[in-house]
Structure 1
Amino acid sequence: MFWTIIGIILLAWLLGLIFEIAGGLIHILLVIALIVFIARMIQAPRR
């Protein structure tokens, strides 16, 4: 589910860049998603 959310946010970001919609909101969401992704990778137990 986590990867699905990342995919949807990346798709929305690309559409925002192409069609110039939603202004900075898409970029803010992308940065938040990147921070969450990095935090999960750091905190994830290694198997």
Structure 2
Amino acid sequence: VLDLSNGSFHDHLLIDFSRLPQLKNLSTRKNNFEGLIPQTLSDCR
């Protein structure tokens, strides 16, 4: 679980999700991210 909720982030999400192969749950609610969704996020399954 990676919980980034309520973090007051206000920019791009710069996480290389390919380095988190065991990630099962990602929470980013209540933030203000801008820009594109990282391509490596779609590789998480």
TM-score (norm 1): 0.25
Larger Rg: 1
- TM-score if structure 2 supplies the norm length? 0.26
Whose strand fraction is larger, Structure 1's or Structure 2's? Answer: 2
Higher relative contact order (CA 8 A, sep 6+): 2
